[in-house]
Amino acid sequence: MASYVLHPAQGLDRPHIIFNAETGKFVCWVKVMTKGSVQRSTVLTADSILGPYEIQRTWLRPLDMSAGDFDLVVDPHDGKGYYYFERVHSEMICADLTSDYTDVTGYYSTHFPQPQPPFVREAPAHLQRGGLHYLLTSGTTGYYPNPSESAVARSYHGPFEVLGDLHPSDESRTSFHSQISSVFRHPGKKDLYIAIADRWLPRYLEHGDRARQAFIEHFAPGKDGDEPMEEFAYVDTSIADYVWLPIRFEGDRPVIEWREEWSPDEYEDA
């Protein structure tokens, strides 16, 4: 049973669900880690967001690439779907989805190429505001937190201009010890975007430079080997926590600051 595509042993990660107005289906993509360096996807559909879901595609390698963290986006005007994903340890890809959202068409663009972790960008989170498209990404340091980065473009496929650190006031250089996984636009507020982040290691509160340097050395040419930081070779993600913070805009630049407490009631109604 461990070989079954949805068995917990496969390391299922970051499910995303979008609604297809043309087919009337809810479409769910799930990243499947598997053993080794290859990452694949499973795609399911349902008539209700709560399911039951039926598997449509298994062991999918979009564009014949190893696909890591991702985000799914539906254009609010024409219903076209887009799939942003990290081409593992390489670059960011924006691929057009088929009309039923269960596969990619073959058309894609590439962004932010880097030679190795921790410089490669992953965990893309897309948001659209004022005619601009933003991608929020993290570096690649496994479960260890690192500085997030924002980039902006006038279309889904870019080109993207890198704006820099999304958390400029965070002296720990860890995105407040979290990794953004999605951005939620509050439908009842005029301009409230909420960054939803995972705090994978709630007990790990060290400065981000330690993990960054460990991954630089680990992935240097000819150096690839064991876990970069042995004390976290086996991470218990069942104790992971969440960090939800509002995004503030300085002109067209998004900024996230630490808030011990905050409420949507602070923001103007739509």
Residue 269, exposed/middle/buried by CB under 10 A (0-12, 13-18, 19+)? Answer: exposed
Domains along the chain with CATH numbers = 1-111 (2.115.10.20), 125-270 (2.115.10.20)
Q: What is the mean pLDDT of the chain?
A: 93
Give this prediction's pTM: 0.94
Lowest mean pLDDT among 32-36, 107-111, 235-239: 32-36
Which residue is it, tokens 């879901």?
53
Residue 221: is its pLDDT beyond 90?
no
In this prediction, residues 80-84 reach a mean pLDDT of 99
Q: How far apart are the first and last CA of the chain?
A: 49
Predicted local confidence at residue 13, as pLDDT: 87
Predicted local confidence at residue 195, as pLDDT: 99
Residue 62: is its pLDDT beyond 90?
yes
Which pLDDT band, with edges at 50, 70 and 90, does 2 fall under? very low
31-35: long-range contacts, CB 8 A cutoff, minimum separation 24? 31/67, 31/68, 31/69, 31/70, 32/5, 32/59, 34/10
In this prediction, residues 68-86 reach a mean pLDDT of 98
156: left (phi over 0), alpha (psi -120 to 50) or beta: alpha
Which of 114, 133, 103 shows the shortest CA–CA distance to 40? 103
Q: For residues 181 and 242, is the Cβ–Cβ distance under 8 A? A: no
Predicted local confidence at residue 171, as pLDDT: 95
Residue 138: is its pLDDT beyond 80?
yes
DSSP class of residue 159 equals: P
In this prediction, residues 249-254 reach a mean pLDDT of 97
Predicted local confidence at residue 225, as pLDDT: 54
- What are the pLDDT digits (tens) for 144-195? 999 999 999 999 999 999 999 999 999 999 999 999 999 999 999 999 999 9
Which of 104, 248, 93, 66 shows the shortest CA–CA distance to 156? 93
Rounded distance, CA 238 to CA 260, Å? Answer: 23
CA 152 to centroid of chain Cα atoms: 16
- What are the pLDDT digits (tens) for 88-130? 999 999 999 999 999 999 999 999 999 999 999 999 999 999 9
Predicted local confidence at residue 174, as pLDDT: 96
Q: For residues 13 and 28, is the Cβ–Cβ distance under 8 A? A: no
CA 172 to centroid of chain Cα atoms: 21
Residue 75: is its pLDDT beyond 60?
yes
Q: For residues 162 and 208, is the Cβ–Cβ distance under 8 A? A: no
In this prediction, residues 9-18 reach a mean pLDDT of 90
Predicted local confidence at residue 50, as pLDDT: 98
Which of 155, 107, 106 shows the shortest CA–CA distance to 128? 155
Say which residue, 48 or 212, is predicted with more confidence: 48
Tokens of 219: 């992935």
Predicted local confidence at residue 37, as pLDDT: 63
Residues paired with 161 in a beta bridge:
152
Rounded distance, CA 252 to CA 233, Å? Answer: 40
Rounded distance, CA 192 to CA 200, Å? Answer: 25
Say which residue, 26 or 144, is predicted with more confidence: 26
Tokens of 63: 């564009």
